Amino acid sequence: MEGMQFNVLKMVVSKWYDDNRSLTMLKVLFRDHVAIGKLATINDTMDLLNDLFKSSQLTPSDLTILGETINLTKHYALQERIKSTFQLFPDVREGTVSIKFTPHRQRLMKFGMALTPKDVTLIDGLYNTPLKRYADAWIMINDLEDQLKIKEGDMKEFQQMLETLNLRLALNALKEDISGTSSAFGIPSTSSVLVPSPTPTLQVPEAYQMPKMDRLQFNQLLGDVSTWWKRYGNVNMLKVILSEFKVISVVLMEEKSEPRSLFELLKGSGLISEADVDVIIETVILGGQSGVELKIKESIPTFPGLNTVEITKFSNHRQNLLEFGKVIDGSNKERIGYLFGLYVPELKDQWSLIFQLEKGLILTEDSHVKQAFVKKLNDNGMVAEAKALNTFP
């Protein structure tokens, strides 16, 4: 594999895991391969892959660790994305033997995937006073490894704690026998290296361009997304997302109670049109409403799917606000509201809180304002909320 092809491969893999918010998972997986101090400074998947390349654990002639990563993280759709560029990339199959990751590391991956947000809260309460309010299971596992609560070869006490909390699925994952006899990724069992097939033609996919729609298609798209959002989404979250665009009056947005009326504000301001619906498509992704994809394909048969769309219309600040909202629980919503002088009875949910924080210029993109806000959260023990605001640097 030539240098440029290898760089493209790293780019495809990096973008996939970053888009799927999986860096914290990868940090657990690669804890035995990357120095702990270095791991703590890594902010995106490309940095991680480059560190593996630097230590010769991932090279153009040996992609074994990449194949095993896809297998252990269960991101099998990434294989298809890679094959769209490198058709001869070997098949990654579930159940193949890992030669790069220890049985303990593999069990931790299964353990993390078995945990629910409620499980994470229970374990957090068992080990931390005050609660650290971990943003996800992987951050918790990494922290417990730092504290030596999770330690290879000495898991008896931790397993007993899981037994006490009655977390059977998670406990079973930690006790699972890691064994097998199948060869690695379609390569004969005498080989331990995932070697790329003869160099394929480099095919870098171009970004998908949404075709121009006629008025009927455009209105159908608005109607489908609005109806879906009203049924499955949160209109206050939609207001937070669309607050990205300062051309829309905050007062106008505040008085709207239906998704369709909010999307009409986009149309009125020229942010969307028959020739440009990127904002509405990206809004669907940011709002977690990807289930509407099939409805979109009914209106636009050529639309290949939401996984081809890149977020380009929304800032890192906006995406940080969404991560912030996802980790705020009911009690902390009220605490934050009182802390910053908001009228708490009017805050129906965490998205209403964020909308009011932005409206009052209490939380803005300005680095000084944001730092002061984050510091106040940390000072009051809301570590997960503070951390979420720095998800996207």
pLDDT of residue 29 exceeding 60? yes
- Residue 96 pLDDT: 64
Q: Over range 70-87, report the average pLDDT.
A: 85
Q: Is residue 391 over pLDDT 50?
A: yes
Q: Which residue has the higher pLDDT, 276 or 27?
A: 27
Q: For 163-202, b where at least 16 C-beta lie within 10 A, e where not — what string?
A: eeeebeebbebbeeeeeeeeebbebeeeeeebebeeeeee
Question: What is the arithmetic mean of pLDDT over 82-94?
Answer: 78
What is the rounded CA–CA span in Å between residue 140 and residue 228? 34
Closest CA to 292 of 231, 211, 351: 231
139: confidence class by pLDDT, cuts 50, 70, 90: very high
Helix (H, G, I), strand (E, B) or coil at 273: strand
pLDDT value at residue 269: 82
Q: Which amino acid is at 53?
A: F
Q: State how far the Cα of 164 lies from the Cα of 159, in Å rounded to an integer.
A: 9
Mean pLDDT across the chain, nearest whole number?
85
393 and 43 Cβ atoms separated by less than 8 Å: yes
239-292 per-position pLDDT tens digit: 999 999 888 888 888 888 999 999 999 888 888 888 888 899 999 999 988 888
Span 3-88 CATH architecture: Orthogonal Bundle (1.10)
- pLDDT by residue (tens digit) across 175-219? 888 765 343 444 333 334 454 444 443 343 344 456 667 888 889
Largest CA-CA distance found in the chain, in angstroms, rounded: 68
Q: Supply φ then ψ for residue 43, to 5 degrees.
A: -115, -10
Q: Average pLDDT of 336-345?
A: 91
d(CA 135, CA 389): 11
Instruction: Indicate the range of 2-16, 67-81, 190-204, 297-311 predicted with least confidence.
Output: 190-204
114 backbone φψ class: left, alpha, beta (φ>0; ψ -120 to 50): alpha
Residue 145 confidence (pLDDT) = 93
